[in-house]
Amino acid sequence: MSKPLTLSDKILKRMRPARLVRKDPVGGQAGLALLRYEPLDGQPVFPDGRFKAGQYCYLAVQVEGRWLNRLYSIASAPCQRHHLELYIVLVENGAVTPTLFAQPIGAEVLYMGPAGKFTLEKTERPDLCLIATGTGLAPYVSMLRQLRHELRAGGGASRPRRITLFEGVRYARDLGYHSLLREMEQEGELDLVYIPTVSRPERDEGFNASLGRGRVNHLVRAVLGDEAIEARVPPALPYGLDAETLRARLHPETTAVYLCGNPGMIAELQQFLGARGYDQILTEDYW
């Protein structure tokens, strides 16, 4: 008689094996990377139609003989059917990320999903305000990739949207997907304004005037006219952008706000934006 299945055995049996095929460090750092996986069986990552941009997956790795599971937003888009791209930061004392980062190309993991409701299907509103800290950018990269794909395919699956993306990081080198997002903004197919902001500019050799200053929550509040911000680094927009132009893209009644990443940022903006009349706020806390 075979050994009875424990719950985790049951879950493991439902997960699919995939192989690490690419590891791209962000800003030359060993602890911040785009990790790309492909299913071992060569089939699409998810059955067609299941995955909506903005969702996450479960990823399991073996750590000292035990399979451990964590959730990761998917940065690749549904149109990228044959790989799974994740944007992950190394948590030095974490249980899982040190193993993920130590794995060589070819290493096997298990994954399952997709799951989550942090998707564009949740709103009909024409204006999107996407706000992230750190790797909380991942779901927005997926959304933008998919919107661009749908526009190019001309299938009309997506409504025209005005998108304002705020990304907050500590240093310029932490800006994952910076070139892709600038390219998407400049090519003009999507109506996108991309506002990266750096919270430690005084210690940052990579800082320049094309980047905002201050924590992303402080910058958003400043754009929306809050004059009572107490911040170590006073918020300032990138050169060439002005608050009035941005406010015109972010009327409370036409805008859906998405908040992803650091729970402190999310809690503060949820409260601030709620008080300003924003009544569609979707959140994805990473811890």
Ligand X SMILES: NC(=O)c1ccc[n+]([C@@H]2O[C@H](COP(=O)([O-])OP(=O)(O)OC[C@H]3O[C@@H](n4cnc5c(N)ncnc54)[C@H](OP(=O)(O)O)[C@@H]3O)[C@@H](O)[C@H]2O)c1
Ligand Y SMILES: Cc1cc2nc3c(=O)[nH]c(=O)nc-3n(C[C@H](O)[C@H](O)[C@H](O)COP(=O)(O)OP(=O)(O)OC[C@H]3O[C@@H](n4cnc5c(N)ncnc54)[C@H](O)[C@@H]3O)c2cc1C
Binding site for ligand Y (CB under 6 A): 56, 70-73, 86-89, 91, 94-97, 134-135, 138, 284, 286-287
Least distance from ligand X to the Cβ atom of residue 102, Å: 13
> Which tokens go with 163?
């998108």
Instruction: Determine which residue in the list 78, 113, 114, 168 makes contact with ligand X, applying CB under 6 A.
Output: 168
- Residue 261's nearest CA partner among 180, 141, 114 is 141
Is residue 184 a contact partner of residue 148, using CB atoms and an 8 Å limit?
yes
Shortest distance in whole angstroms from residue 215 CB to ligand X: 4
Q: How many residues bind ligand X (CB under 6 A)?
A: 21
- Within 259-278, which residues bind ligand X (CB under 6 A)? 262, 264-265, 268
Query: Choosing among ligand Y, ligand X, none, which partner's interface includes residue 31 (Cβ < 5 to 8 Å by kind)?
Result: ligand X
Question: Closer to ligand Y at the Cβ: 95 or 243?
Answer: 95
CB-based contacts of 241, cutoff 8 Å, min separation 6: 193, 195
- Coil, strand, or helix at residue 173? helix
Helices (H), 120-255: 138-153, 178-187, 216-223, 243-248
Residues 6+ apart with CB under 8 A from 248: none
Q: Is 98 in the site for ligand X (CB under 6 A)?
A: no
Residues of this chain that interact with ligand X (CB under 6 A) are 29-32, 89-90, 133-135, 168-170, 174, 199-200, 215, 217, 262, 264-265, 268
